[in-house]
């Protein structure tokens, strides 16, 4: 399928750790604070961090006027829906299960790629998707009864995952000829505006000064999520095939489950442990190097 370069691997490892640990961090952050306002503050504080990175790396900020409509579509599919829906789901569900629902994204991505972009999956690709789907099902095994009382928030998380999956495919096929960091900066800026407006519309009466835990979670998200992780993810999603990029981050919900268990006391079942093995199979199926002879190496005619 695709072997990671050293640079891609160097982005993937910290990305996985930062995003995986963020699920219980977000849960703590929104425990006593409006979720949309939490997301808006994180975005606004993360934007200058990302801007400084562009200045330091001498990456241009300019996006051609003709590309703004496509940029808006990229932001909507990759960030607007995801951030609004998933933060509301995190508020209502356990952090680990919200992570699992959110990371059904690779399954949606494979289906969308086949339906809309004529993507063809190899056997290894289907193995990875199947392992991912089974792992998600196992991780949700003990949640069905609990989640049945909150179907709206389950639906929000699944809508977030499906829309993000579409966004991955759209980003992979974008025709905008600007650096990925530039796209990341403007998508973050647009999302900050959208989250602020949503919070103003639905949470104005709940606005308050964040407490210490909320500020810590906001700082974590501002610097590590919006200042680093999103930009790293967009680079991987734009460089790697969609299936490889999506399945390569499948350790994130596993980290979300077990860090939530350690920090928040959320229960871990045997299904969680089994899912770890399945997620590793999913990752290996798309990232393990393919031998030359397995991909049609030429043979001698003598």
In a domain, 298, yes or no: no
Sole residue written with tokens 């900066």: 185
Question: Which structural domain, as residue segments, surrounds residue 193?
Answer: 6-290
Q: Regarding predicted confidence, which is higher, 43 or 283?
A: 43
186-200, 201-215, 282-296, range with the lowest pLDDT: 282-296
The answer to whether residue 286 scores a pLDDT higher than 70 is no
pLDDT tens-place string over residues 242-251: 666 676 677 7
Q: Span 279-294, mean pLDDT?
A: 61
The sign one gets for the Cα dihedral 172, 174, 180, 185 is negative
In a domain, 300, yes or no: no
Model pTM score: 0.85
The answer to whether residue 288 scores a pLDDT higher than 60 is yes
The number of folded domains in the chain is 1
Average pLDDT of the chain?
84
Q: Span 265-280, mean pLDDT?
A: 75
pLDDT tens-place string over residues 110-152: 778 878 877 777 777 778 778 877 877 776 666 665 555 566 7
pLDDT tens-place string over residues 72-101: 999 999 999 999 999 999 998 888 878 888
pLDDT for 296 equals: 47
């Amino acid at each position: 399928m695709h072997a990671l370069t050293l640079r891609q691997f160097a982005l993937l490892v910290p990305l996985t750790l930062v995003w995986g640990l963020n699920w219980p961090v977000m849960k703590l952050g929104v425990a006593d604070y409006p979720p949309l306002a939490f997301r808006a503050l994180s975005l606004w504080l993360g934007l200058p961090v990302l801007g400084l990175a562009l200045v330091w790396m001498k990456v241009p900020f300019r996006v051609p006027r003709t590309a703004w409509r496509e940029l808006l579509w990229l932001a909507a599919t990759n960030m607007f829906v995801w951030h609004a829906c998933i933060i509301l789901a995190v508020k209502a569900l356990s952090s680990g299960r919200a992570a699992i629902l959110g990371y059904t994204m690779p399954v949606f991505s494979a289906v969308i790629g086949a339906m809309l972009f004529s993507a063809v999956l190899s056997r290894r690709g289907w193995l990875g998707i199947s392992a991912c789907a089974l792992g998600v099902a196992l991780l949700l095994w003990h949640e069905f009864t609990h989640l049945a009382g909150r179907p709206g928030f389950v639906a929000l998380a699944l809508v977030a995952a499906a829309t993000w999956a579409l966004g991955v495919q759209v980003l992979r096929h974008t025709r905008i000829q600007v650096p990925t960091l530039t796209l990341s900066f403007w998508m973050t800026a647009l999302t900050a505006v959208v989250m602020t407006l949503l919070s103003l519309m639905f949470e104005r009466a709940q606005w308050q000064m964040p407490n210490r835990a909320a500020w810590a979670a906001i700082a974590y998200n501002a610097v590590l999520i919006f200042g680093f992780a999103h930009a790293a993810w967009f680079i991987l999603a734009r460089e790697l095939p969609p299936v490889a990029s999506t399945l390569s981050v499948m350790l994130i919900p596993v980290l979300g489950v077990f860090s939530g268990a350690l920090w928040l006391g959320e229960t871990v079942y045997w299904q969680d442990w089994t899912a770890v093995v399945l997620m590793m199979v999913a990752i290996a199926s798309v990232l393990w190097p393919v031998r030359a002879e397995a991909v049609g190496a030429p043979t001698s005619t003598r």
